[in-house]
Each structure stands twice: as C-alpha cells, then as structure tokens.
Amino acid sequence: MKSFKYPTRSLRGDYLRATVGLLVTVGLLIAATKITIFQYLFAAGAILFLGFFLRTAQRHLTVFHIANGALYAQGPFGSSIQLCSVTDIQLRYFSTRKDRNGEGGWFELTIKCSKSKISIDSTITGFEQIMQTCKNIIQENKLTPSETTVDNFSSAGFGLENQTSFNNDLNKNQDPV
C-alpha cells in the first residue's frame, strides 16, 4: 500500500493567509458599529476566509492510499475510487506568473468515476507516483484525455502522445454518420 499526504510546510502559507484574513475581516466587522453595507461585506469576507481555513484543514487531515486496485482518500469527506472504473482523468496547471514558464505554479489532478471524484494537487508528497499510476490507468482503461491533460502530462514528464495519436487515428478512420 502506498500512502500520500500533504506536508505541513506546503499548507503553512494557506493556514497563515486564512488566519490573517479571518482576523482582519472579523476585526473590521466588530469595529463597524452600525449595520451598514460594510458589515455585510466584512461578514461575507469572514465566511470566505473561514471556508478557506476549513478546506486547508481538510487537505491537512486527508491521507490518500493506493491499494488493492483502488484510490482511497481517508479523512474528512473521504471517498474511494476503483481504478478499473475510472472514466476520466484531468490534469490542469495553474500558473502564478504571467509568462507560464513552469515556475511558480502547481498541477491539480482530478480522477473521476461514475459515482465520485478525487482531486489532488502537486504539493502532496509522492505526486510523481500518483501521476505514473494515472498514466497507467489512462492506458489500461483506454481513456481519451483532453488535449490540455495530454499537454500537462507531457510537461510533467509523463508523455501520453501515443494515447492521443491512437485516439485521433481511430476518429479519422471512422465514417461520418
């Protein structure tokens, strides 16, 4: 069984941002003495930062396992997916810089089956092993990933070119109905 978890150091910044945002918005909410539009805005901000804090805590408490032909997410709102029933895999890249040169961004991997989905981002320990498992799933389940997913897998070092060219050849050889 392989286990994967988000390291505390990668979540530290999110915890800090959520805490500072909560303190600022709650402080401003308390400082507003009359019920005004500003109180509603500060309350909405506080709710957003609280949600961000809770989402970060959920990621911190969730442990992912690959075992017995399944991917398990154990923790708050956990789920599991049988690898043989995966219907779609998406890999998206989010850049934190304008030039998108591959520095300062992260990947988000989404694995779907008919009943559930699991999303994992690249800050988790062992992300490369998860990517290799997903590459194998795409080939074994004969999935047709999107062009964006193929490009992102290639840029991460897990080329899927053969999979797309095979699917494109199939589509070209089919007669239009």
Q: By the 8 A CB rule, do 39 and 155 touch? A: no
Question: How far is 54 from 21, CA to CA, in rounded Å?
Answer: 13
Q: By the 8 A CB rule, do 69 and 82 touch? A: yes
pLDDT digits (tens, 9 = 90+) for 81-138: 999 999 999 999 988 776 556 567 889 999 999 889 999 999 999 999 999 999 999 9
Amino acid at 123: T
Helices (H), 32-177: 37-61, 127-140, 147-155, 161-173
Amino acid at 64: F
Structural domain boundaries of the chain? 2-61, 66-172
Task: Identify the CATH number of the domain defined by range 66-172.
Answer: 2.30.29
pLDDT digits (tens, 9 = 90+) for 42-81: 999 999 999 999 999 999 999 999 998 899 999 998 899 9
Q: What is the pTM of this model?
A: 0.78
pLDDT digits (tens, 9 = 90+) for 140-151: 989 899 999 998
pLDDT value for 59: 94
